[in-house]
Amino acid sequence: MDTKGRLVAGSHNRNEFVLINADEIGRVTSVKELSGQICQICGDEVEITVDGEPFVACNECAFPVCRPCYEYERREGNRACPQCKTRYKRIKGSPRVEGDEEEEEFDDLDNEFDFGANDHRDPQQIAEAALFARLNTGHGHQADGSGLTTPSEMESSSLNPEIPLLTYGQEDAGISSDKHALIIPPFMGRGKRVHPVPFTDSSMSLPPRSMDPKKDLAVYGYGTVAWKDRMEEWKRRQNDKLQVVKHEGDGSESNDGDGPDDPDLPKMDEGRQPLSRKLPIPSSKINPYRMIILLRLVILGLFFDYRIRHPVPDAYGLWLTSIICEIWFAVSWIFDQFPKWFPIKRETYLDRLSLRYEKEGKPSELAPIDIFVSTVDPMKEPPLITANTVLSILAVDYPVDKVACYVSDDGAAMLTFEALSETSEFARKWVPFCKKFNIEPRAPEWYFVQKVDYLKDKVHPTFVRERRAMKREYEEFKVRINGLVAMAQKVPEEGWTMQDGTPWPGNNVRDHPGMIQVFLGHNGVRDVEGNELPRLIYVSREKRPGFDHHKKAGAMNALVRVSAVISNAPYLLNVDCDHYINNSKALRESMCFMMDPTSGKKICYVQFPQRFDGIDRHDRYSNRNVVFFDINMKGLDGIQGPIYVGTGCVFRRQALYGYDAPIKKKPPGKTCNCLPKWCCCCFRSNKKKRKGKSKDNKKKTKNREASTQIHALENIEEGIEGIDNEKSSLMPQIKFEKKFGQSPVFIASTLLEEGGVPPGATSASLLKEAIHVISCGYEDKTEWGKEVGWIYGSVTEDILTGFKMHCHGWRSVYCIPKRPAFKGSAPINLSDRLHQVLRWALGSVEIFLSRHCPIWYGYGCGLKPLERFSYINSVVYPLTSIPLVAYCTLPAVCLLTGKFIVPEQLCQYRVHGALHIDCCN
């Protein structure tokens, strides 16, 4: 059959083909005139019954079908007549099938349950014949005695490669045959028989029927209304099953048809696969490293065995000093090496995240994220850098209604406020430009200065023109920001005044009220193309003399409370003002871990590595920290997770509230009851010990219950409608106030694990409550900074905060995307670098001297031993300078005193060996 590459389709009439050709008038050509004496399925003659009458399968239309085909259709097919679709009734002499009605007119017990007795042909032949009937290829052919085409006939045929292979003859059992449009499979031969095995050669010699494009396809049975409706409904159900998988971290699965156990849902569907996976380091790389560590341990043990067994009585003080220093170095080395024992890498699947939580035609189900940007002094942290960070956040590849950016101005500078106002105006042009052309990075300063081919992968014809216009807009924006900076150099004697003439509330940096200004995300403010923009909120907490404001940690806790009242996203991202988002999909990368249904519930934060711009080629000040970010952190990720480094980290809000990680219930342990009680006397003492332990465990569990996040409130004065109060007895109102402070709206927000604002709250009431929670006295007599939020007590609050979360049983994740998620500004001179390192060392010493020191804090909780080793190493490393200086001075002291830290025999041996070498030379 010569189709000339055109579409071949089935017709409503089962013995016809349709050849779709827009240039010809549709015509119908029958394959063969139907005969009442020939089976229209296999081509055999219809048998004669014992009564002398032809066998009739269907009493409604008398469509000619032989008994074997009738039996096969009832047993394996759809049990209906191919022509009138009436269900076949059981005929005397045929076995019963499911769904048959009880027959009273005849008794046929001999054949009623005799399956296959009347089937004298090979089942394979019957299946081939039935498939042939479904494809309606006629019966004018050369056949063997059974009426079936033999494989030898098929092998002699040839394949026509011009036929478009749209389907392979498969038919959905859920759709009736008259509503199908089947494409002729490529394995039909000249014999016009269909076999369920592929053949390399085949051609179709059947006369085609052209389709008139002016006529409705339903005339030909292709795409009827019923068929279209059925297919649309089926597609809709499949889309719902394949794309919608609810976020259930407890692992519970519904038992209804639409649950994850639905048998109609493919088990290997992309939307049901894990959102990330671990990639262990190959054994060929990690095992040699482990062997070297073990070898060094053995050598270290032999070295200390000799050193301790051979003291030096004449220089006991020097010997003891050297031993102490060497032991310190050995222990430090152990603390540094063993956390690297199980390094891993991770890989995320952003496409699976979209399949799972972003269903086409419906609102995105990705979790909202509140992003914190902290700044203090605009003279040390230029407003232009902060503006670029904010712009990269507003243009991030994430649903705009799920993003809220909070900028903390801890210096209450009007320069920062005005710069943020200019930034919000420029964002109305910059954000649509970024999303339209999908540019990277989305910080304009770094986008326009990068020395790459900016036309690569850009196909939009207006890109060059709009890029030039946007660059000109950004240059004008920079001029305005620089003008504000120049104006701020000269502070008026009476202080700054705002545009309406009122004095700026932050003229006195140490004594000013709290300030909140919502720049974007309200009052219908949209970009130049009319699209919605993320929220942009300016926050400056209240400061009064006589209060300890706790520097950056206090500012971050204020942002936690403000964001909980205004937007209350379940996840938080904090970045420094000089760390912009370099990868617009960074938030999605973190959500692959946080929103994973299997392991996401136990993750407290996702830490990204720090990457920097402007570092010289040799990295003379070691700003890259390659060993720490690319080796140590991967090792920690294989234990309980990396430590928090202060920026580029996505948090779970519930973990910041001081709650414990969810505990996976274990099945009760097995007990031996094979012996009677009287012969278990020897275990009485063990039972007593167990009882004592059980009491202690009960106390611990009670303490844990007091800090779980599923508590509810009762009798709170205002603003907590819609909160489930079934378990309000676990934690009364006064305990909530002691922990979180006296704000009913904020306390209500802590009970919403999935985020969101309590219903019924107005914008005015929320802003009023937000001002209240950033007052300088709000944290008095609460657990803020002790168990809740960022922890106080050290200038390196990041290490302390992450340590407390790990002590609560949480784990963290280290995410290294191919394109760096964040980039920042590194110190460019030695003075700044030394100041930074000194600050880190001071913070570590403060933690070492506090009650939160990992050497003695957090035992009996969820902190793993190797993770503790890492925290101890990060705390004690500044103290290593003391034994290092002492050990370096020992050689000079030995030379001046003539005494040595090793035994004299070894010294004499070394001296004689040196003289012998000199003589030989």
The C-alpha angle with vertex 130 and arms to 127 and 132, in degrees rounded to 5, equals 110
650 is written with which tokens? 């996505």
697 is written with which tokens? 């465990």
Contact assessment for residue 757 and residue 769, using Cβ atoms and an 8 Å cutoff: no
Sign of the alpha-carbon torsion through 282, 288, 289, 294:
positive
Nearest residue to 125 via CA among 150, 152, 97, 94:
150
248 is written with which tokens? 């259930």
659 is written with which tokens? 């709650």
Helical (H) or strand (E) element with 517: strand 515-520
Task: Tell me how far apart the alpha carbons of residues 580 and 576 are, in angstroms, rounded to a whole number.
Answer: 8
DSSP state of 407: E
Task: Tell me how far apart the alpha carbons of residues 449 and 746 are, in angstroms, rounded to a whole number.
Answer: 43
User: Phi/psi class of residue 505: alpha, beta or left (left: φ > 0; alpha: ψ in -120 to 50)?
Assistant: alpha
Of 44, 370, 410, 660, catalytic: 410
Of 370, 578, 660, 798, catalytic: 798
Neighbouring C-beta atoms of residue 339, cutoff 10 Å: 27
**Whether 410 is catalytic:** yes
Nearest residue to 328 via CA among 893, 890, 895, 878:
878
**Whether 264 is catalytic:** no
Nearest residue to 435 via CA among 400, 405, 461:
400
Task: Tell me how far apart the alpha carbons of residues 381 and 376 are, in angstroms, rounded to a whole number.
Answer: 8
CA dihedral 905, 909, 912, 918 (to 10 degrees): -150
Helical (H) or strand (E) element with 333: helix 316-337
CA 878 to each of CA 322, 847, 859: distance values in angstroms, whole numbers, following the listed order: 19, 11, 24
Contact assessment for residue 744 and residue 565, using Cβ atoms and an 8 Å cutoff: no
Name the burial class of residue 628, with classes exposed (0-12), middle (13-18) and buried (19+) by CB atoms within 10 angstroms of its CB. Answer: middle
Q: Residue 869, Cα to own-chain centre: how many angstroms?
A: 29
Task: Tell me how far apart the alpha carbons of residues 93 and 107 are, in angstroms, rounded to a whole number.
Answer: 10
Task: Tell me how far apart the alpha carbons of residues 773 and 276 are, in angstroms, rounded to a whole number.
Answer: 37
Contact assessment for residue 136 and residue 181, using Cβ atoms and an 8 Å cutoff: no
Contact assessment for residue 867 and residue 639, using Cβ atoms and an 8 Å cutoff: yes
User: SS3 string of 657-714?
Assistant: CCCCCCCCCCCCCCCCCCCCHHHCHHHHHHHHHHHHHHHHHHHHHHHHHCCCCCCCCC
Nearest residue to 429 via CA among 518, 522, 521, 533:
533
Task: Tell me how far apart the alpha carbons of residues 751 and 724 are, in angstroms, rounded to a whole number.
Answer: 9
Task: Please list the active-site residues.
Answer: 410, 798
